[in-house]
Amino acid sequence: VAGRDEAAFEAFVAARSHDLLRTAVLLTRDRGHAEDLLQTALLKAYRHWHRIAADDPYPYVRRILVTTAASRRRLRTTQEIVALPAEDTISSLLPFSDPADEIADREQMTAVLATLPPRMRAVLVLRYAEDLSEAATAEALGCSVATVKSQTARGLARLRAVLASAPAASRPATVKEH
Amino acid sequence: MPLSDPDLEARLRNHLRARADDVPPARGDLARVTRARFRAERRRRLTAAAAGLAVLVVVGVVQVTGSGVLPWSRQSAVPSDGRSLYDLPVRGGLASDGAWLRAVADLPWESDSRPVPGRQSSRESRRVVYADDVPGGRVALVVGRVRGVTLATWVTGPEGAAPDGMSVLPDSIPIEDGEAVGLLDVGPGGPAENVLAVVGFPGQRFRFSNGHVADAAGRLSLAWQSLSPEDGVAVSVVPGRHAGDEQTRLRDVDGDDVALLSTERFSAYIPRMPEPADPRGLRDRVDDGELQFILDYLVGYYTEPAEAVDPVLLWAGPMGSGSGESGALIGITLPSGATAAGMVTYRAFDGTNPSSNQHTGGMSGGMAPMPAGKGLLERLIAVYSWNSVIVSGPEAGTVAEIVRGAAVVNTFPLVDGAGTGPCPDDLAVTVRVRNAAGAVVGETPLSRTVD
């Protein structure tokens, strides 16, 4: 990696690593594994940095991150979203009025997401956390739009089925404004 | 009462964003750490270049052999002439029942009550493009349009149902021109068999798979079932799933995935895995949920029910890296005699959240199947995970050595032939097992994982 590419890599990591870490946390189960995933993705990108640095590297690196997470179950290990971040506290949670209900709600959703296969979960993260279109999600995952549609529909169906049968924390969701 | 589509999507979006917002900034030395890892990796690769070449040749042979067993010959696609399913005439046994079709097309969709941008077709635009009685019930495919986008959903009910006895699936999906749509439902006799309906274009062909098979040599292939559409519509009874549905695939003749929806009762069916055999007495060292998780994955990867593959708990306990994680290694024996293994690792809940005492995660990996000839407990298996390696081998093995080149980089004890220890990485590492007398019982590279 040449000197100017080194500088570009430094700048990219400084500017976008937090965005990538946010996605990594959603794809994995805790901060430690998310950082490991992010490091792996950055390492893969760094190997080819001279080729990708000319354009905006973010979509490329995000694709590496997501496909690495989605394939870890098979390639080496899979990380499951089950843990609330250690930083979670009642005061940091969002607008529900009853903290106990809110924690239960989050834990319920976290537990249900953990039952989804990695690629299905990755599709839901990209579609609902990153607000990517079906086409952009397909591109990020290297799959067809039909697969994104199927994985989204089946992922939602599985969430619905499990949440509907769960006894607690079934209350209307509130979308946080950004 | 089931959650509506918009409510579920909003709840999911809220949950994911709230979690993401809790993430503190990334560490400040990521670029430096990445460069250090890159340099270390390059040094290791140079050292291991000769061994790597040999491995590459072997893998290449396996892949060429494997590609010859695919049971599907590629043929040219059937053109849709740029049409959407919306443009085709209604098909199926109810095609002439105009009153029933109109009433079903007029059934409300979930998105009607809580509109989601881009997901709500106008009710006036909706029409049924396929309706028939299929094994176990009556189904109809309804399509609608909004701003030039075609949306599709399935409507299901009992055989012979009147329109008011039909239920609209909560999900609707946008479809492109030329795209087919499938539906999976539980079969009339229960989940041992499923019913698959696919609506495409006349002349189009499809194939379905719900998992892999491995022959006696350990070669993997997907088990495909060719469907026989008439007039572009296929309705088939397909094998039920014995585990989760991650391995369910529906493709057209070009190998493209076909959008596949499923009924709520199909999605809700979660098979319970049986207890694995526990010859090493390790069952109380693994969490029930995590054990179910890896059994579900491993059984679901193949097409056989759990009872037919004799799951065995090969190892369980705290991982050797000292990270605080635990793990378990499960083995199965396939009908061909080939054996396969899967691993889960997880971290038990640390007690920081007062409202939860549940376990907090799992990782799993399925390893490439091994040829028939040796029983699972006699087979030497070494699996890497996050700076640890899990070893399962013959009972005589008492010590495992992590070997890189000619150097032993670590040793750890085995109990009944199994155990775990630290392992710096998974690059050019082999695991050698010795018995109490110091003689080598076996040596193996780390297990190759499967996709």
C-alpha to C-alpha distance for B206 and B226, rounded to whole angstroms: 6
Give the confidence band of B224 by pLDDT, cuts at 50, 70, 90. Answer: very high
**The pLDDT of residue B135 is above 80:** yes
The structure tokens 């946008």 sit at B174
Predicted model pTM: 0.62
Per residue in B327-371, pLDDT (tens digit) is 899 999 999 999 999 888 776 655 443 333 334 444 456 678 899
Alpha carbon of residue A174 to chain centroid: 20
Q: Write down the pLDDT at residue A174.
A: 25
Q: Do B16 and A82 lie within an 8 Å CB cutoff?
A: no
Most confident of A51-60, A85-94, B36-45: A51-60
**Yes or no, beta carbons of B22 and A161 under 8 Å apart:** no
Which tokens sit at B343?
């691993």
Of A110-114, A137-141, B245-249, give the range with the top mean pLDDT: A137-141
Question: Chain A contact for B288, CB < 8 A?
Answer: no
Q: Establish if B9 touches chain A: CB-CB under 8 angstroms.
A: yes
Q: Is B35 helix (H, G, I), strand (E, B) or coil?
A: helix
The predicted structure's pLDDT at residue B41: 58
The closest alpha carbon to A152, from B8, B47, B209, belongs to B8
CA dihedral A146, B70, B310, B298 (to 10 degrees): -30
State residue B359's pLDDT score: 42
Bridge pairing between strands B339-347 and B325-333: antiparallel
Residues 318..347 of B with a Cβ closer than 8 Å to A: which?
343, 345-347
Give the range among A20-29, A131-140, A164-173, B87-96 with minimum mean pLDDT: A164-173
| Burial of B42 (C-beta count, 10 Å sphere; 0-12/13-18/19+) | exposed
pLDDT band at B326 (very low <50, low <70, confident <90, very high): confident
| pLDDT of B270 | 76
Angle (CA) A92-A95-A97 rounded to 5° is 100
pLDDT band at residue B7 under the 50/70/90 scheme: confident
Query: Quick check: helix, strand or coil at residue B226?
Result: strand
Q: With contacts defined as CB-CB under 8 Å, which chain A residues touch B17?
A: 129, 175-176, 178
CA B30 – CA A40 distance, rounded (Å): 11
Helix (H, G, I), strand (E, B) or coil at B12: helix
Exposed e or buried b for every residue in B175-185, given b needs 16+ CB within 10 A? bbebbbbbbbb
Report the greatest alpha carbon distance in chain B.
Answer: 84
User: For chain A, how many residues are written?
Assistant: 178
Label residue B398 by pLDDT band (50, 70, 90): very high
pLDDT over 80 at B207, yes or no: yes
pLDDT of residue B194: 93
Number of Cβ atoms within 10 Å of the Cβ of A39: 18
User: What is d(CA B184, CA B134) in angstroms, rounded to the nearest whole number?
Assistant: 12
Q: What percent of chain B has pLDDT over 90?
A: 44
Q: Does residue A176 carry a pLDDT above 50?
A: no
Please tell me the least confidently modeled range out of B27-36, B40-49, B66-75, B144-153: B66-75
DSSP secondary structure, B305-352, as one string: -GGGS--EEEEEEE-TT-SSEEEEEEEEE-TTS-EEEEEEEEE---S-
pLDDT higher than 50, residue B174: yes
Q: Write a three-state SS string for A5-55.
A: HHHHHHHHHHHHHHHHHHHHHHHCCCHHHHHHHHHHHHHHHHHCHHHHCCC
Name the residue with higher pLDDT: B144 or A158. B144
pLDDT band for position A88 (cuts 50, 70, 90): very low
Query: Mean pLDDT over all residues of chain B?
Result: 81
Query: Residue B450 above 80 pLDDT?
Result: no
Residue B86's alpha-carbon distances to B80, B91, B95, B117, B152, in angstroms, are 12, 12, 14, 20, 9
Checking DSSP bridges between strand B181-187 and strand B259-262, what pairing results, if any? Answer: parallel
Contact at 8 Å (CB) between A34 and A17?
no
Given this model, what pLDDT does residue B61 score?
Answer: 24
**Residue A76 to residue B384, Cβ atoms within 8 A:** yes
pLDDT at B190 over 90: no
pLDDT greater at residue B90 or residue B383: B90
Residue count of chain B, please give it: 451
pLDDT at A135 over 90: no
Nearest C-alpha neighbor of B154 from the set B267, B31, B237, B73 = B267
- Which residue has better confidence, A135 or B103? B103
Taking an 8 Å cut-off on Cβ atoms, the answer to whether B23 and A18 are in contact is yes
What is the structure's pLDDT at A46?
86
Tell me the nearest-neighbour CA distance from A80 into chain B, angstroms.
5
Q: Could you give the CA distance from residue A33 to residue A16 in angstroms, rounded to a whole number? A: 18
Tokens 């979690």 label which residue?
Answer: B19
**Which residues have a Cβ under 8 Å from the Cβ of A55 and sit 6 or more positions away?**
none
- Shortest Cα–Cα distance, B28 to chain A (Å): 8
Joined tokens for residue B113: 């009550």
Chains A, B: CB contacts within 8 A come to 245
Which residue among A34, A111, A143 sits closest to B358, beta carbon to beta carbon?
A: A111
Interface of B with A in 96-135 (CB under 8 A): none
pLDDT at B56 over 50: no
Q: How many CB atoms lie within 10 A of CB B427?
A: 15
Residue A139 in this model has a pLDDT that exceeds 90 = no
Task: Give the H or E element holding residue B98.
Answer: helix B98-105
Q: Are B384 and B426 in contact (CB under 8 A)?
A: yes
Q: Is the pLDDT of residue A83 over 70?
A: no
**Is the interface score ipTM higher than 0.85?**
no
Between B75 and A6, name the one with better pLDDT.
A6
For chain A, the straight-line distance linking the first and the last C-alpha, in angstroms and rounded, comes to: 37
Longest pairwise C-alpha distance within chain A: 58
Identify the closest residue of chain B to A117 by CA–CA distance: B246
Residue with tokens 């069916």: B269
Q: How many whole angstroms separate alpha carbon B165 and alpha carbon B197? A: 20
Tokens of B76: 């040219």
The token pair that represents B103 in the structure block: 């009433």
Helix (H) or strand (E) holding B364: strand B363-366
HSE, CB side, 13 Å, CA atoms: give it for residue B185: 24
* Mean pLDDT (whole number) for B305-313: 93
Burial (CB < 10 A; 0-12, 13-18, 19+), residue A46, is buried
Pick the range with the lowest mean pLDDT from A100-109, B162-171, B205-214. A100-109
Tell me whether residue B396 is exposed, middle or buried, using C-beta atoms within 10 angstroms of its C-beta: 0 to 12, 13 to 18, 19 or more. middle
Span of A2-16, A29-43, B304-318, B423-437 with lowest mean pLDDT: A29-43
Q: Taking 50 as the threshold, does the pLDDT of residue B425 lie above it? A: yes
pLDDT band at B151 (very low <50, low <70, confident <90, very high): confident
Q: pLDDT value at position A71?
A: 57
pLDDT the model gives residue A175 = 24
Contact A74 B449 (CB under 8 A): yes
